[in-house]
Structure 1
Amino acid sequence: MFMADRIVLMRGGRIVQTGTPQQLYCAPQDPFVVTFFGEVNRLEGEVRGGYVHTAVGPVGTQLDEGSRAQVLVRPEALRVVEIEAPASHEHHSHVLMARLLGRTSLLHLCVHGVEGQEAHMHARVPGVFLPQEGQAVQVSLDPSQAFVFAADDDAGELL
């Protein structure tokens, strides 16, 4: 991506998307394009009122009302903030594991949404951020790095 002016991304002998590195990374037209550039979190839901309601909040979409959707979220799209520990983790997001990777920290999270959704997600945060296992956190989403597709679109193998 650093050296290219344009990229042609192919899968199974057919062109999936052509464009600048920024276009492919920021405006993928296919789930495969999202997964091609690295690990993603995969969430599913139903479109209601123009949004897919996920454990990390609503994500806007143009898909038809009532249709099933998949939401692909890059680990760097998650913002994680430690909060005061509630009495129980049953309905609160919390840290399952934190590992330092050098320039970034990788968090495994159990995320709970306001509508009762639960998801195991990975977050990649800059610098040294190593909350203890079980630490209660607030997780929010940068919607520019969340991509919605019809649930039956094939993302290939998710990394």
Structure 2
Amino acid sequence: MTARLSFKGIAHQYDVQLALQDLSLDVAAGEVVCLLGPSGCGKTTTLRIAAGVERPTTGRVEIDQTVVAGPGVFVPPEKRGVGLMFQDYALFPHLTVLDNVKFGLHQQAKDEREPIALRALEGVGMTRYAHVYPSVLSGGEQQRVALARAMAPGPRIMLMDEPFSGLDNRLRDSVRDEALSLIDQSGASALLVTHDPEEAMRMADRIALLRKGKLVQVGTPQELYYQPVDAEAAAFFSDVNRCAGTVEGGLITCPLGTFPAPNIADGTQVDIVLRPTAIELGSGGVGVAAIVRRARLLGEESLIEIEVDGHDGLVHVRVRGAWLPAEGTSVRAAAAPERALIFADNALVSGGESTVNRQR
């Protein structure tokens, strides 16, 4: 697919701080890409550069293969054809809901603005609030109005900066789904900033993981979750258990078990990463001996923390259902070898499940 939004070798610096380094990324027409990473990694700077709020220090930005930022070129935000949606809603308190949505329609004829704004409000279920002021709306309702305002002009590209982080879990899910539905219906591309891995996996066609101003990995949600580029990337998506070992005779032995390593040379030092769901607990049979130190119910899952001889720190295990063994209970912990992520020199060399189907 043709790239609708492209970053080519972008670098950006604030005084002496380098916020972005050699960032290149394409967002295809109709695609949702999430910029994911911890605070300060360059996510919002990337979005601001796409919007035209910041000029990149080097590199260029293209929209529909036309340069909008680069050497000798800078197209202002209002002429880029992008929609903007932010965490703080940015609604004008002195304007009604309808007038807030109409505000972004200055390029349309005056007699067309109200019908377009009303259709946008209808799309998010907010028509009945058209003539009230934002102060009487809940956070979720204000976010729906902000979404309607961003989508009303029919932007080719939606830029969204942590737009759902201020909502409670129930509202967050419904507003996210509404946003995805509207973006899909419009055919717009979307670039979404988030620090929440679950949100990125829920919304994105592809995820761009940033760390200290650099792109670490770009791929589908299942690629980043099951085939992370390094151990730190694996740990960003969930709690992990780690142990070290050396390959001998095609096997790796560590306190959490023995794992096959048929394609890794003997003598190679490796790190094994296991997500909490990759370990099963039982009262006998296979696995290593362990002692329960803590058990907590997390709704549909239970988190069991166990102590294993020779392992530094507690091992986290997640099991389906409500199982809360008492502290001091003896168990056997069996790690699934096929779910182990094996890293040598902090690069994935074995493991990962690549056959997971995903539909949005």
Which interval holds the TM-score relative to the shorter structure? 0.7 to 0.9
1:15 shift after superposition: 2.0
Q: Is the 8 A contact 1:45 1:52 kept in 2?
A: yes
Alignment of 1:8-19 (within 5 A): 8-19=208-219
Bigger share in helix: 2
Q: Does 1:78 align with 2:270?
A: no
**Which amino acid in the other structure matches residue 128 of structure 1?**
A
**TM-score, length-normalised on structure 1?**
0.79
- Counterparts of 1:138 and 1:102 in 2: how far apart (Å)? 24
Q: Does 1:153 align with 2:350?
A: no
1:118 shift after superposition: 4.1
**TM-score, length-normalised on structure 2?**
0.37
Extract unaligned runs of 5+ from structure 2: 1-200, 348-360
Q: Is the 8 A contact 2:289 2:333 kept in 1?
A: no
**Residues 83 and 133 of structure 1: CA distance in aligned 2, closer, same or farther (over 3 Å):** farther
Alignment of 1:13-28 (within 5 A): 13-28=213-228
- Counterparts of 2:230 and 2:339 in 1: how far apart (Å)? 14
Extract unaligned runs of 5+ from structure 1: 85-90, 155-159
Alignment of 1:97-112 (within 5 A): 97-112=294-309
Bigger share in strand: 1
Q: Deviation string for 1:136-155 (max 9, x for gaps)?
A: 111111234321112x529x
3-state SS of 1:42 partner: strand
- Counterparts of 1:146 and 1:6 in 2: how far apart (Å)? 23
How many residues align? The count is 143
More RCO (CA 8 Å, sep 6+): 1
Give aligned-pair identity as a percent.
Answer: 39
- Counterparts of 1:126 and 1:146 in 2: how far apart (Å)? 19
Q: Is the 8 A contact 2:256 2:311 kept in 1?
A: no
**Cα RMSD (Å) of the superposition?**
2.2
Alignment of 1:35-114 (within 5 A): 35-61=235-261, 62-83=263-284, 92-112=289-309
Which structure's CA Rg is the greater one? 2
- Counterparts of 1:59 and 1:140 in 2: how far apart (Å)? 11
